[in-house]
């Protein structure tokens, strides 16, 4: 009688890991093929000049579908009441628009409205990393939603930003805490037909936002350096979603604020790696006890996801340059004080003055963009509640 072949536990673990690696490799290749991204050398992949906005939307389609599914399941029972917060055309008198900043706190009706509104974005909206400040912009004339924006931790490495500031590595390490990144900004229908997005973006540069930042994060510990810091908001960056941006272009209110175009990203990132593949990558690294598998520390932000993906791709025999998706996005920056650059370089110990009040910015933005657009293009008046409900028809059907 022959003895049963003994399988050593270590052999079983090795086999399990090999099977997981092979499956991950196969699914990554299949997913990128569906998106139409080349697995060959990076020079064979398109740059931003070859990507239409529809193509960029298509590259985000899998990620967006996943986000919509999650948000819709959470918001389904509240949908009708939330949709009533969107205006119709006849509810808007351009001369009477009165923007109000409403800070968003977790687990509130404002938070639900914020999340619902972001499902309208063509590119899925991140929840943000680490520090986070979210605002709705509502219209006091009717109580309806104009738009929204949210600020979160910036990425540690952003070449065009760092070169524009003129940072050394040490200066960036010490002062990055005084920079925030707008990970979503814009208006919703029908205010978007009145260039409401430029109004919303302008309000990010208001005194109220500086005070909110100081109240929440003025005394903090740097997530990267571990040092105790007295942070002051000196600069806000924002990146376009679909290549060239009509929203951020020419946002300037004389003697109040200027949003500067400082360059563009180089087409690398992780949005095209969906959550299910990312989870498999973490599980693979966990089998080896890799430190990236168990989450990220405050301050790591999206760089952690990139490190996880790069390491996992390497371990399954795929090149890390698959992170090059080719979508080059415009980067803009909004200074919050006259001596912002000196402060960020460490040449000044405090920021000079305060930005304008939100009410003053809103008044200037309405005169600069909204009122002229309402006169030239009155089509917003025909927007009806049925048009809004059509935007959420899948959610309402559920």
360 part of a folded domain: yes
Q: Coil, strand or helix: which one is 105?
A: coil
The closest of 317, 340, 367, 329 to 29, measured between CA atoms, is: 317
pLDDT band at 393 (very low <50, low <70, confident <90, very high): confident
What is the rounded average pLDDT of the residues 338-344? 97
Residues 107 and 170 both lie in one domain: yes
The rounded distance, in Å, linking the Cα atoms of 398 and 394 is: 6
Of 13-22, 295-304, 380-389, where does mean pLDDT reach its minimum? 295-304
CA Rg, the chain, in Å?
23
Confidence of residue 259 (pLDDT cuts 50, 70, 90): very high
pLDDT, mean of residues 347-376? 97
pLDDT at 129: 61
Q: Where are the alpha helices (DSSP H) in 135-247?
A: 159-165, 169-175, 196-203, 207-217
Please, is 68 exposed, middle or buried when counting C-beta atoms within 10 Å of its C-beta (0-12, 13-18, 19+)?
A: middle
| 165 inside domain | yes
pLDDT for residue 298: 46
* CB neighbours of residue 184 within 10 Å: 22
Same domain for 225 and 120: yes
What is the predicted pLDDT for the residue at 224?
Answer: 52
The residue out of 325, 341, 371 marking a domain boundary is 325
User: If pLDDT is split at 50, 70 and 90, which confidence band does 291 have?
Assistant: confident
Report whether pLDDT(252) > 60. Answer: yes
Mean pLDDT, the chain, rounded, equals: 84
As a whole number of Å, the end-to-end CA separation of the chain is 62
Within 8 A by CB and 6+ apart from 74, the residues are: 115
pLDDT at 49: 45
Alpha-carbon distances of 73 from 44, 115, 127, rounded to whole Å: 39, 12, 16
What is the domain extent for residue 170?
A: 51-265+330-397
Residue 47 · residue 267 · CB < 8 Å = yes
Instruction: Please state which of the ranges 91-105, 238-252, 351-365 shows the lowest mean pLDDT.
Output: 238-252
What confidence tens digit (pLDDT) does each residue in 55-69 have? Answer: 555 555 555 566 666
Cα dihedral 122, 124, 129, 132 sign: positive
Q: Which is nearest to 68 in space by CA: 28, 105, 123?
A: 123
Specify the range with the lowest mean pLDDT, choosing from 11-15, 137-141, 317-321, 375-379. Answer: 317-321
83, pLDDT greater than 60: yes
Question: Is the pLDDT at 44 greater than 50, yes or no?
Answer: no
d(C-alpha 37, C-alpha 268), whole Å:
13
Let me know whether 260 and 165 are in one domain: yes
Is residue 255 located within the same domain as residue 277? no
| Mean pLDDT of the region 108-137 | 85
From 325, 351, 371, give the residue that closes a domain.
325
- Residue 9 pLDDT: 55
Q: Tell me the C-alpha distance between 38 and 312, whole Å.
A: 19
pLDDT given at position 305: 77
Both 95 and 177 in one domain: the answer is yes
Average pLDDT over residues 127-137: 85
pTM for this model (two decimals): 0.78
**Mean predicted confidence (pLDDT) in 342-367:** 96
Q: Which residues pair with 173 in a beta bridge?
A: none
Residues 79 and 168 in one domain: yes
pLDDT of residue 42: 45
The answer on pLDDT for 349 being more than 70 is yes
Name residue 219's beta-bridge partners. Answer: 230
Residue 13 placed within a domain: no
Domain total in the chain:
2
Query: Residue 394: its pLDDT value, please?
Result: 75
Cα 227 off chain centre by = 26
Domain assignment present for residue 19? The answer is no
18 is a domain residue: no
User: 128 and 194: one domain?
Assistant: yes
Q: What is the DSSP letter of 324?
A: B
Residue 180 resides in a domain: yes
Buried b / exposed e along 104-136 (16+ C-beta atoms within 10 A): beeeeebebbbbbbbbeeebbbbebbbbbbbbb
- Are residues 219 and 89 located together in one domain of the fold? yes
Cβ atoms of residues 379 and 273 within 8 Å: no
Q: Is residue 288 part of a domain?
A: yes
167 domain residue, yes or no: yes
- Cβ contact 278:225 at 8 Å: no
pLDDT of 50 > 70? The answer is no
CB atoms within 10 A of CB 70: 14
Question: ∠69-70-74 over CA atoms, to 5°?
Answer: 115
For residue 260, the cross-strand partners are 333
E runs forming strands in the chain: 99-103, 132-139, 144-152, 179-187, 219-221, 228-230, 235-239, 252-253, 257-258, 260-264, 330-335
Give the model's pLDDT for residue 43. Answer: 43
């Amino acid at each position: 009688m022959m003895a049963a072949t003994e399988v050593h536990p270590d052999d079983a673990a090795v086999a399990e890991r090999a099977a997981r690696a092979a499956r991950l490799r196969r699914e990554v290749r299949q997913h990128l093929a569906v998106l139409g991204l080349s697995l060959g050398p990076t020079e064979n992949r398109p740059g931003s000049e070859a990507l239409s906005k529809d193509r960029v939307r298509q590259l985000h389609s899998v990620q967006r579908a996943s986000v919509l599914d999650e948000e819709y399941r959470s918001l389904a029972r509240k949908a009708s009441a939330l949709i009533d917060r969107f205006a119709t055309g006849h509810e808007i008198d351009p001369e009477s628009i009165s923007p109000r900043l409403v800070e968003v706190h977790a687990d509130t009706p404002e938070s639900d409205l914020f999340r619902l509104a972001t499902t309208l974005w063509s590119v899925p909206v991140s929840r943000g990393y680490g520090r986070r400040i979210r605002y709705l912009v509502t219209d006091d004339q009717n109580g309806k939603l104009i738009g929204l924006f949210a600020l979160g931790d910036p990425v540690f490495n952003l070449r065009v930003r760092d070169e524009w500031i003129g940072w050394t590595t040490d200066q960036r390490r010490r002062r990055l805490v005084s920079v925030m990144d707008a990970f979503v900004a814009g208006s919703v229908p029908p205010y978007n037909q009145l260039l409401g997005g430029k109004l919303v973006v302008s309000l990010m540069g208001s005194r109220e936002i500086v005070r909110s930042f100081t109240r929440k994060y003025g005394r903090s510990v740097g997530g990267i350096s571990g040092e105790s810091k007295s942070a002051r908001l000196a600069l806000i960056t924002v990146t376009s979603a679909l290549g060239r941006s009509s929203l951020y272009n020419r946002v300037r209110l004389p003697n109040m604020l200027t949003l500067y175009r400082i360059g563009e990203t180089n087409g690398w990132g992780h949005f095209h790696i969906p959550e299910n593949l990312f989870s498999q990558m973490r599980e693979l690294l966990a089998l080896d006890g890799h430190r990236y598998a168990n989450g990220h520390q405050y301050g790591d932000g999206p760089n952690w996801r990139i490190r996880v993906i790069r390491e996992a791709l390497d371990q399954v025999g795929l090149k890390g340059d698959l992170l090059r998706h080719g979508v080059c996005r415009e980067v803009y920056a909004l200074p919050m004080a006259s001596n912002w650059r000196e402060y960020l370089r460490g040449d000044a110990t405090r920021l000079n003055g305060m930005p304008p009040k939100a009410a003053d910015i809103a008044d200037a933005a309405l005169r600069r963009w909204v009122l002229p657009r309402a006169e030239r293009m009155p089509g917003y008046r025909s927007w009806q509640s049925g048009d809004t409900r059509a935007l959420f028809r899948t959610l309402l059907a559920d």
